[in-house]
Structure 1
Amino acid sequence: MKLKIYRPLLFTVIATATAISSWAQQPVDSLASYLQIALEQNPAIQAQYHAYEATEKQIDQAGAFQDPELSLGFYTKPMEIVGGRQIGDVTLMQMLPWFGTKKAAKTEANHMAQMKYQEYLQAKQTTILQVYTQWYVLQKLDQQLKNAEQNKSLLVQLEELALKRFSAPTVSAGSNTSSMTSNNASSTPAASSSSTAGMGGMSMGGSTTANQPAASTPSTSNTISGGSAMSSMTSSSSMGMSDVLRIRLEIIEIENTIQSLQASVKTEKVKFNALLNREANQEVTIDKTIRQVDYLMADDQAISEIENNNPMLGMIQEQSLAYKAKSAMDRKMSYPMLGVGVQYMILGKTNDPMLAMGDMNGKDMIMPMLTVSLPIFRKKYNAEQEEGKMWWKSSQQTMQNTLNNLKSEYYGYKNQLDDAQRTIQLYDKQTTLAQTTFNLIVKEFVAGKSDLTNVIQVQRQLLDYQLKKAEAIANYNTMVASINKLMAVGSQTQKQ
């Protein structure tokens, strides 16, 4: 029974803990979070949105009537009239446009406000593309920095191998020297015995010519062998030391490259923080690896998305509708305007019995008024209507030209996207082959079958392929972001 009571509470606790855990695992410093910060804080976006809000306020202004006119008049000396003495009058007049004029004006103002809203969406798309582009630049630099550090580590290992090769000939030369010394030591008794025999021969009157070459030949051969060993030792030592120095030159160069990349990363982070409207020195966390984003949309579908969602086309469309509404308003303005008002005359009593008019003496008078404007100068109104039609036709042609440019821009991005894809595949294959070649040639270098020049050349090729592959992936991702900007992906959100 207690289990049934506590089971819902247990499930609630588990669900809450799971939700908190999943929320805690959300990456705080990710591209999505940075995009959200940019959309909320970027000054260019906020400026465009406030401009849209300001234009939206014009809708109520366009739908409002003209202010009524109130006029007051008085006589410094009351004027004698029939029924009393007129002291002054009060007139109130309200002008009314032709039926439907204000509705057309509100329609025009609404389309102008929507045009500003499309500019706001365009500003959002531009900022999104800038954030993506700057993010991929940082990723590319970070990848280049990692590759440079890895190659520095490889060069340090090569330096250790070269030092081992440099020390190896010295040991060999020492053994040659000791063997050479033992050979000389073993040949000395033979020489002395030969000379003794020679001396004995001389005292005995024997021939010493036959024994002389036998005594001199071992000494000459040992001298030649010792000289070749010394020259081999000197050559191996100099070659080994030059390898070490060349590797150290490469390490110094790549250290300078690392410092330059670190300075570039710092500069690009300042630009990235500027897009987010943050402090310049605020930390930016970049993904450890640069990944190629997916793009699987067909050309027909992409063109359709551009026609339906692109803010530039939407802005021109709203402008065209505003011109159309203005033309309708100009037509309504060419009709007469009506004025409705009332006049209140303040009368005092007159002392003249001829003007007293009995009970009407001194009674105030109220007079309703109606006025009509006479738009008889038709040339002006016709010109206004023709102006609206011409602006509407101009906007239609502008829209068609913009659509053609957007299509051309899309196919240009698509071509660059395909080139980047092929380049990525090429550098991927070349990187794999260069890595295999580098591993083999390092083993040959350790075994003494290859020199340092080949190792450094292959190592540079590997570094070059890695850097170009990262750059190609960054270019590919930037092209995808540019195409998404044309299709307004991510900007068709609700108003703030």
Structure 2
Amino acid sequence: MKTNNRYIVTILVVGLGFFSNAFAQEHRKDSLSHYIQVAIENNPGVKSQSLVHEAFLEKIPQAGAFQDPELSLEAYTMPMEIVGGRSIGNVSLMQMFPWFGTRKAARTEATHMANMQDQQYREAVNNLILQVSTQWYTMQKLNEQLHNNEENKKILDQLEQLALRKFSSPSSTARPTPVPTVSSNAPSAPSASTASSGMGGMSMGSGSTTTPAASSSMSTSSGGSMGGMAGGSQSGMSEVLRIQLEIAEIENNMASLHSQIKAEKAKFNALLNREANQEVMLGNEIQKADFKYSEEEALRIIENNNPMLKMISEQGLAFKAKAEMDKKMSYPMIGIGAQYMLVGKTNNTMLAMEGMNGKDMIMPMVSVSLPLFRKKYNAQQKESELWRRSSEENFKNTFNTLKSEYYGFKSQLDDAERVLKLYEKQTTLAQTTYSLIVKEFITGKSDLSNVIQVQRQLLDYQLRKAEALANYNTMAVSIVNLLAYNR
């Protein structure tokens, strides 16, 4: 039974391999499957439940054992004269035997009770896997959001340098400035070959005079300034300060995410029974779990495989076996034994018998219990039957509850998938828009407010996409917890 118990856990872990991306490499230190194995081996709650199951296994031989035999000793301080000698003492041994089939029914009940604990152990493992997986996806979401903020900070740094060049470079020395890219997957912006014309005409002197052409050039270059100021050092510097404000906000977000990741890692390590500050390898990026179960297939697996339902089924079988045992206990018990009488020789010729004087005797004994009080036994059998019927109704109720949970998780899974597709599309569009708006900013066709607005939208879509992906994976693993799938 212990070997079978370990086998079930091994199959359970391997069965979660349907997460094709999250569980791709079993022995990688940054894979979820690796940490699940560590958690199952180290988690105190799972260990405790495993020991409870082993303790219930030890009840099986106890339930099938005979009652202890009864040994009685009698000794007389003054030997009593009897026919054929003098009685010195008696030694008797009696063993009671229950009615036929009683021990088998008791062992059956104990076996089903142990199986109940085995299912509770499986439920503890499933819940641990759910907790570890949920915590893992939470950390990956925060890590992805941190990465998005870092990438956007790099974009703002490039934008700041671009604004500084526009602010400080005179038109005669202005050179084309490359457009900052949002990521390797983002569409590249067209070359800013006309950047010099957009940055020309900025005069640092207060007493200089400008020609109409120069005035036109200044008007173009100041298109990104706040408040619509037409040229001058103040408008250029305001652009730089505006970008620095955005950078400061992102740096604050990054500091907050670092703090959240540290706290979530401490919770994760607690599930693995490790030190709170022990390093957790999260991998490169969060991946979408592959979930492909039809409604009919999922409900069938839940009904046949969920540990809670199996536990209730085993409970019902245990009550059925107990009812059978109570019925057998209402029959008489048979006792078989022997009594050994120590007899000494007597000097009384009247009591002495030729050939029998002082000879010890052995007397076989048989006893039968009389279960006359039938109300007690009838009530025991009725109690077990009521418990069995209660477990049947509990099975139906629990299955209905699990079905409701499945439909709830499935609805959230579908919603998360729709939202994920939306954010993926919006992120792609925002990346393209950002590349174009930066080009327009360089050429003076757009102001800085539009650039920052698009940059904020891009970051927002990236953060929401990571959150939607984590929600999708969490709902997927929640459904797998209901399925308790062990292929």
TM-score normalised over the length of structure 1: 0.81
> What letter matches 1:467 in structure 2?
L
Distance 1:381 1:233 in 2: 99
> What letter matches 2:79 in structure 1?
P
> What letter matches 2:147 in structure 1?
K
Distance 2:293 2:477 in 1: 13
Match for residue 273 of structure 2 among 264, 277, 283: 277
Distance 1:272 1:301 in 2: 32
Runs of 4+ residues over 4 Å off in structure 1: 168-171, 174-180, 232-235
CA displacement at 1:278 relative to structure 2: 2.1
Distance 2:396 2:468 in 1: 34
Q: Is the 8 A contact 1:169 1:236 kept in 2?
A: no
1:254-288 Cα distance to aligned partner (Å, 9 max, x none)? 11111111111111112212222222222111121
Distance 1:258 1:329 in 2: 66
Change (3 A) 1:356 1:425: same
Distance 2:229 2:290 in 1: 60
Aligned residues: 421
Q: Is the 8 A contact 2:326 2:377 kept in 1?
A: yes
Distance 1:140 1:355 in 2: 101
Distance 2:476 2:275 in 1: 29
Change (3 A) 1:29 1:425: closer
Structure 2 match to 1:69? 70
Q: Is 1:345 matched up with 2:346?
A: no
Distance 2:84 2:348 in 1: 10
> What letter matches 1:29 in structure 2?
D
Q: Is 1:477 matched up with 2:486?
A: no
CA displacement at 1:177 relative to structure 2: 4.7
Distance 2:473 2:124 in 1: 20
Structure 1 match to 2:376? 380
> What letter matches 1:114 in structure 2?
N
CA displacement at 1:133 relative to structure 2: 0.6
CA displacement at 1:248 relative to structure 2: 1.0
**Structure 1 range deviating more: 34-43 or 396-405:** 34-43
Q: Is the 8 A contact 1:165 1:240 kept in 2?
A: yes
Structure 2 match to 1:457? 453
Structure 1 match to 2:184? none
Larger radius of gyration: 1
Change (3 A) 1:66 1:308: same
Distance 2:276 2:123 in 1: 25
TM-score normalised over the length of structure 2: 0.83
Distance 1:297 1:235 in 2: 62
Structure 1 match to 2:262? 266
Structure 1 match to 2:415? 419
Distance 1:479 1:240 in 2: 49
CA displacement at 1:414 relative to structure 2: 0.6
Q: Is the 8 A contact 2:204 2:233 kept in 1?
A: no
> What letter matches 2:237 in structure 1?
M
Ranges in structure 2 where 5+ consecutive residues have no aligned partner: 1-24, 172-200, 212-218, 220-227
Structure 2 match to 1:158? 159
Structure 1 match to 2:43? 42
Task: Percent identity, please.
Answer: 62
CA displacement at 1:169 relative to structure 2: 6.9
Q: Is 1:173 matched up with 2:203?
A: yes
Q: Is 1:440 matched up with 2:470?
A: no
Change (3 A) 1:29 1:429: closer
Ranges in structure 1 where 5+ consecutive residues have no aligned partner: 1-23, 184-227
Q: Is 1:328 matched up with 2:329?
A: no
CA displacement at 1:60 relative to structure 2: 0.2
Q: Is 1:255 matched up with 2:251?
A: yes
CA displacement at 1:175 relative to structure 2: 8.0
Change (3 A) 1:234 1:394: closer
Q: How does 1:204-215 map to 2 (within 5 A)?
A: none
Q: Is the 8 A contact 2:94 2:336 kept in 1?
A: yes
Q: Is 1:59 matched up with 2:60?
A: yes
Distance 1:489 1:273 in 2: 25
CA displacement at 1:384 relative to structure 2: 0.2
**Structure 1 range deviating more: 55-64 or 239-248:** 239-248
The structure richer in helix per residue is: 1
Q: Is the 8 A contact 2:92 2:339 kept in 1?
A: yes
Distance 2:134 2:310 in 1: 25
Structure 2 match to 1:148? 149
Structure 1 match to 2:186? none
SS in 1 for 2:67: coil
SS in 2 for 1:415: helix
Structure 2 match to 1:207? none
1:201-236 Cα distance to aligned partner (Å, 9 max, x none)? xxxxxxxxxxxxxxxxxxxxxxxxxxx9xxx99952
Structure 2 match to 1:225? none
Give me the CA root mean square deviation: 2.2
Distance 1:412 1:72 in 2: 71
SS in 1 for 2:94: strand
Structure 2 match to 1:239? 235
Q: How does 1:386-401 map to 2 (within 5 A)?
A: 386-401=382-397
